[in-house]
Amino acid sequence: MPIAADELMLDELAIALAPFVADAAIFDGWSPTAVRAAAEMEGVDPDVAQLAYPGGAMDMIAAWIGSVDAAMAEELPAPALQAMGVGQRIRAMLVFRLERLMPYRESLRRAMAIMAMPQNAARTARLGWSSADLMWRMAGDTATDLNHYSKRAILASVYASTLTVFAQDDSDGFADSFAFLDRRLKDVADFGKFTARFRRADAESFSVMRLLGRLRYPAR
C-alpha cells in the first residue's frame, strides 16, 4: 500500500519512508538520489520526501533506525516477551533487529561508515542509547539508579559490536554473528553476577558499583 504522505507529519513520513530509502541506498548510498527513488517507488512527492530529511544522510539513517525500533515494538509485544526471562527478552529483540537488517547489509555498511565520522559521533551515540533504552523498557526494566545507565551503555556496546561483525559476516545463516552475540550476552550476564555481590555489601563506605558503572565494557 502506498504511503499516504498527505496524512503524515514530516517526522512520521521520514520513518515510514526510511526502509525504502535503505533499500535504494544499497545502490545509491544515503543520498538525495536514494530518497527520490524511494519516494517515486511509494508514490510520494519527491520534493516533500526530501523535506523529511533536512539533515541529509544522518537524518535518513536515524529515521531508518527509528523504523526498526517501531517494528520491534509492534512485532514483539509485551505478552510475547513476558513469557521469557529478561535475558531471553533482550536476545529476542537483538535477533529481531539483526533479522530485520539482513536484506540491507550493504546499506548498513554504508550507514556505519557515515556514523563513524567524527562529526557524527555524538548523534550516533544518542541513537545507540535510544535503541538500548527502548529494548530495556520493553524487557520490563524499571531501574532508576546507576543501573539504569550502566545497563543501557552495556547493551548499546553489545549491539554495536555485534553489528560490526554482522556487517561483514559471510557465514551460513549468519551463524558467526549469532554466536558472537551469544558470547557477548554471556559475558554481560557473568559480569552482572559478579557485580551483584557488591550491591549486597550495603556497609561498604566505598561504592564499588559506582566505580564499575563508570567503566566501559570492552568490545571484542
Residue 64: inside a domain: yes
Question: Which residue from 56, 151, 36 is spatially nearest to 111, judged by alpha carbons?
Answer: 56
CA distance 30 to 61: 8
CB atoms closer than 10 angstroms to residue 208: 13
pLDDT score at 3? 73
pLDDT score at 220? 46
What amino acid is encoded at 184 in this protein? R
- Cell matching residue 207: 561504592
Checking if the pLDDT of 219 tops 80, the result is: no
Checking if the pLDDT of 52 tops 90, the result is: yes
Task: Please report, rounded to a whole number, the percentage of residues in the chain having pLDDT higher than 90.
Answer: 73
Cβ 107 vs Cβ 23: under 8 Å? yes
Domain span including residue 56: 7-213
- Cell matching residue 65: 533506525
Model confidence at 146, pLDDT cuts 50, 70, 90, reads confident
CA distance 185 to 164: 16
In this predicted model, what pLDDT tens digit does every residue of 2-32 receive, in sequence order? Answer: 676 667 899 999 999 999 999 999 999 999 9
CA distance 62 to 68: 10
Domain count, the chain: 1
Over the chain, what HEC string results? CCCCHHHCCHHHHHHHHHHHHHHHHHHHCCCHHHHHHHHHHHCCCHHHHHHCCCCCHHHHHHHHHHHHHHHHHHHCCHHHHHCCCHHHHHHHHHHHHHHHHHHHHHHHHHHHHHHCCHHHHHHHHHHHHHHHHHHHHHCCCCCCCHHHHHHHHHHHHHHHHHHHHHHCCCCHHHHHHHHHHHHHHHHHHHHHHHHHHHHCCCCCCCCHHHHHHCCCCCCC
Considering the chain, what is the average pLDDT of its residues? 88
- For residue 29, give the CATH number of its domain: 1.10.357.10
Cβ 158 vs Cβ 82: under 8 Å? no
Checking if the pLDDT of 68 tops 50, the result is: yes
Give CA 183 to chain center in angstroms: 19
Residue 220: inside a domain: no
Residue 219: inside a domain: no
Residue 2: inside a domain: no
